[in-house]
Every structure is written in structure tokens, then in C-alpha cells.
Structure 1
């Protein structure tokens, strides 16, 4: 691929990032205003945390997640049913040579943060943190060093 579309290491170009952000804003606005009449989407708050564009800007992968993470498959199916309408609205709001085809996926970031929370609350990690706290208390380093004088220099 040319340097225009991809930089070293497969990173997206500035243009890809800029267009993805424009598409994300347009999609967020569409979902907020509830322009879509579908029972699966009514009354649901849907976040659009990320959009990734293909190098030729003809495909937009939109990552969505309903608030609370409930009914993800229903929401994705409803968005897929209205893909043509959403593509037309995006084309109207974002000036590009071609209207990007839209693909919807569940945002993996929420699942990842849940795994991190589970790891941090696991008994092994709690045990390690308690041992660390005890070591700090025993060494007299419980938190930041205490200031004894007004200037903190021991006077």
C-alpha cells in the first residue's frame, strides 16, 4: 500500500482518523435524535465509542454498545436492518467522494474493562495488595512523606 493510506506499522493515516471521527459524530447524532423507528432501538441509549475506516474510506466499522450492555445482539440486528438509511444520513452529513458502507460491531472495550475489574477484584490480587500495604506500613512509608516544617525541610 502507498504511504498515503498507511503509515509504518499498519497505523491509520491522519485522514482515516479524521473521517472516522466525523462518521462517529454523525452516527452518534443520528442515534441520539432517534431518527430510526425500530422497537429494538426505542428508549435505548446507544454509545458509539469508536469508528474505524478502511484505507480507501469506503468501509466504516462502527463499534456500538447500548447503555448497560443489555440486548447487544438485538441492537446490532436493528442497526443492520437500517444500514441503508444510516449510510444515506452519514453521506449527507459527511462530505466524502463515496458514502462509506457501514458495518456494526459490539464494542470490545466494555468487555475488556469488565475483565480488568474482575482481575483486580480477584483474591490473589487483593492478597498481593494487602501484603504491599503491610510492607509500606512496617517501613514507615504509609503514603507521602510527612512535612514537619512550613517549608517541608524538617524545621
Structure 2
């Protein structure tokens, strides 16, 4: 079985990181300017936290979070419904040779950070951490 560099634990390439950041900024701008012709999507304030691209740059997964963390399913549904219009806006505003297919997922970074803080605040965990000092 052939191994690619991702199966060996290495991270994304510099090119993937650059393209992902370009897409993130562009999507954020488009959503902020409410350029999409969907009033439901334009009513939502959505943060694009990160965009990860596939190694061939044909798929871009945007990790998003609606303001306050509420209406997550509604935000994902609205973004998915307007995926082709968002992709067209992306093609118009970037100099990418090919515009990747867009996927949208909820950014769970803050949820994981909150869970970690709760875990570290538990008495038995704090006691164990204090003992290591």
C-alpha cells in the first residue's frame, strides 16, 4: 500500500496553508459584506475560524461558528445551500487556478477548550497537577 505524507503524521504543506488562509479571509469578507442572495444566511453572523484544503487543493473544508455558538445547524444548512454562490464569489475574488469544492463544518475548538478548562478545574486533577510541582 502506497503511503502519502499525511499517513506518516506530517502536517499540511505551505501551499495548503497559504491557500486555506486565502480562502478563509475571502469567505469571511464575502459573508461579512452579506453578498450572498439569501436573507437567512445574511441574518447570521458567521466566523470562519479555519479552512483546511486537501493535498490537491480541490476540496476546502471551512470550520465555522455562528455568533454566540447558537443556530449551528441553521448556519451549516444555509452555507451548504449557498455553496455554489460562495464558490463563485471565491473564484471572482481570488487568483486561484481552480476553485475548490467547499465543505462546511462547525468549529469545535472553543468547545474543546472549555472541556479542557473544566477538566483542569476538577479538584482531583488540580491536586495531581500541584503534586507534580
**TM-score, with structure 1 as normaliser:** 0.72
**1:120 aligned to 2:120?**
yes
Greater fraction helix: 2
| Greater displacement, 93-102 / 35-44 | 35-44
1:85 paired residue number: 85
| Greater displacement, 31-40 / 70-79 | 31-40
1:94 paired residue number: 94
| Runs of 4 or more consecutive aligned structure 1 residues displaced over 2 Å after TM superposition | 36-44, 120-126
1:146 paired residue number: none
Aligned residues: 130
Query: C-alpha distance in 1, partners of 2:104/2:113?
Result: 20
Pairwise CA distance, 1:101: 0.4
**TM-score, with structure 2 as normaliser:** 0.83
Q: What aligned pairs does 1:66-81 form with structure 2 within 5 A after superposition?
A: 66-81=66-81
Q: Deviations over 1:87-131 (max 9, x none)?
A: 0111111111111100000012022112112213334345x29x9
Structure 2 unaligned runs (5+)?
none
RMSD: 2.7
Q: Deviations over 1:69-88 (max 9, x none)?
A: 10101100000000000001
2:108 paired residue number: 108
| Secondary structure of the corresponding residue to residue 96 of structure 1 | coil
Query: C-alpha distance in 1, partners of 2:70/2:120?
Result: 23
